[in-house]
């Protein structure tokens, strides 16, 4: 797909000055040691959900496009999901920060209806322990083992939300000796405090993540 065709359908994305200012020009060339990590594109984080991320659904076409190219190269695609018990410690009623969200098997925990995962997508559930917050897809899961067993050296990351689960997943990927490319047009922030998303991007870059807009991926 041509960049301009993709942009036509994504006016909301190109209207984001903060994100575009980080975007690198040029192609991102996917190689055989790459994998895609799609973070928490679940109904509760989308408009209408219980913890809706503003403009969260804008990540979906960008991620779908990346998944098509990744799948064509037979690269592994991991989809993390927040998968909480009803009494999870992160909920306000249990002394946490968040409204109830992503309760395992509930409609809010389902992946977005229009995200097109391939049949062999690898689903990674996290946050299933009542007593532990788990923003990162690596926390309390075997994601690191799975990735290293496949000889993956670099992960391409997009999803929700920039300032929580994307941030912590990227931190852990870097801590697990993986290179990271953060797709700036495939992430959106909660921004509980204004600027959180922007600070999160800066922080990931400072720790070594590269950024790419995700709009052009070379074949
Ligand atoms: C998330 C807040 C609470 C996320 C998950 O996916 O970024 N944020 N639980
Ligand atoms: Zn959560």
Mean pLDDT calculated for residue range 156-177: 98
Task: Please tell me the predicted confidence (pLDDT) of residue 8.
Answer: 43
Choosing from 53, 79, 98 the residue with most ligand 1 atoms within 8 A of its CB, the one to mutate for a pocket test is 98
Q: Distance between CA 93 and CA 183 in Å, rounded? A: 34
Count, residues in the chain: 219
Q: What is the pLDDT of residues 98-155, one digit of tens each?
A: 999 999 999 999 999 999 999 999 999 999 999 999 999 999 999 999 999 999 999 9
* Residue 106 is assigned to a structural domain of this protein: yes
* Residue 22 is assigned to a structural domain of this protein: no
Q: Is residue 20 over pLDDT 90? A: no
Among residues 85, 138, 75, 143, the alpha carbon closest in space to that of 109 is found at 85
Mean pLDDT calculated for residue range 21-41: 83
- Given a contact cutoff of 8 angstroms between Cβ atoms, the answer to whether 51 and 99 are in contact is yes
Q: Distance between CA 202 and CA 129 in Å, rounded? A: 30
Residue 160, ligand 1, Cβ within 6 A: yes
Q: What is the DSSP letter of 211?
A: E
CA 101 – ligand 1 centroid, Å: 9
CA 171 – ligand 2 centroid, Å: 17
User: What's the distance, CA 61 to chain centroid?
Assistant: 13
Residue 171, ligand 1, Cβ within 6 A: no
User: What's the distance, CA 2 to chain centroid?
Assistant: 23
* Residue 199 is assigned to a structural domain of this protein: yes
We report the CATH number of the domain holding residue 107 as 3.40.50.850
- Given a contact cutoff of 8 angstroms between Cβ atoms, the answer to whether 165 and 193 are in contact is no
* Residue 62 is assigned to a structural domain of this protein: yes
The helix/strand/coil state of 158 is strand
- Given a contact cutoff of 8 angstroms between Cβ atoms, the answer to whether 76 and 36 are in contact is yes
* Residue 136 is assigned to a structural domain of this protein: yes
* Residue 18 is assigned to a structural domain of this protein: no
φ, ψ of residue 70 to 5 degrees: the values are -65, -45
Structural domain total, the chain: 1
Task: Please tell me the predicted confidence (pLDDT) of residue 2.
Answer: 47
Residue 161, ligand 1, Cβ within 6 A: yes
H or E, element range at 35: strand 34-39
Residue 164, ligand 1, Cβ within 6 A: yes
CA 216 – ligand 2 centroid, Å: 31
Q: What is the pLDDT of residues 191-205, one digit of tens each?
A: 999 999 999 999 999
* Residue 78 is assigned to a structural domain of this protein: yes
Q: Which residues are catalytic?
A: 40, 126, 165
Confidence band, pLDDT 50/70/90 cuts, at residue 23: low
* Residue 207 is assigned to a structural domain of this protein: yes
Task: Please tell me the predicted confidence (pLDDT) of residue 1.
Answer: 45
Q: Is residue 21 over pLDDT 90? A: no
* pTM across the whole model: 0.90
Q: What is the pLDDT of residues 65-75, one digit of tens each?
A: 999 999 999 99
Q: What is the pLDDT of residues 80-102, one digit of tens each?
A: 999 999 999 999 999 999 999 99
Cα dist from 207 to 20, 39, 103, 142, 154, whole Å: 20, 19, 32, 23, 15
- DSSP calls for 111-133: BPTT----TT-EEEEE--STT--
Task: Please tell me the predicted confidence (pLDDT) of residue 24.
Answer: 58
Q: Which domain holds residue 188?
A: 3-12+28-218
φ, ψ of residue 37 to 5 degrees: the values are -115, 115
Helix crossing, 167-175 with 196-206: angle to 10°? 10
């Amino acid at each position: 797909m041509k960049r301009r065709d993709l942009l036509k359908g994504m006016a909301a994305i190109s209207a984001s000055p903060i994100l575009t200012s980080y975007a690198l020009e040029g192609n991102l060339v996917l190689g055989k040691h790459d994998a895609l990590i799609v973070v928490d594109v679940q109904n509760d984080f989308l408009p209408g959900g219980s913890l809706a991320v503003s403009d969260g659904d804008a990540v979906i076409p960008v991620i779908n496009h990346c998944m098509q190219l990744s799948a064509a190269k037979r690269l592994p695609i991991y989809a993390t999901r927040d998968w909480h018990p009803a009494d999870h410690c992160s909920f306000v009623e249990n002394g946490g920060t968040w409204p109830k969200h992503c309760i395992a098997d509930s409609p809010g925990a389902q992946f977005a209806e229009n995200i097109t995962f391939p049949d062999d997508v690898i689903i990674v559930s996290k946050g299933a322990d009542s007593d532990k917050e788990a923003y990162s897809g690596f926390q309390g899961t075997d994601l690191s083992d799975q990735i290293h067993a496949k000889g993956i050296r670099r992960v391409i990351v997009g999803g929700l939300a920039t300032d929580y689960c994307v941030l912590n997943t990227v931190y852990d990927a870097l801590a697990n000796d993986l290179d990271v490319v953060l797709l700036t047009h495939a992430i959106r922030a909660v921004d509980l405090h204004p600027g959180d998303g922007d600070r999160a991007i800066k922080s990931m870059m400072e720790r070594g993540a590269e950024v790419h807009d995700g709009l052009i991926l070379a074949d």
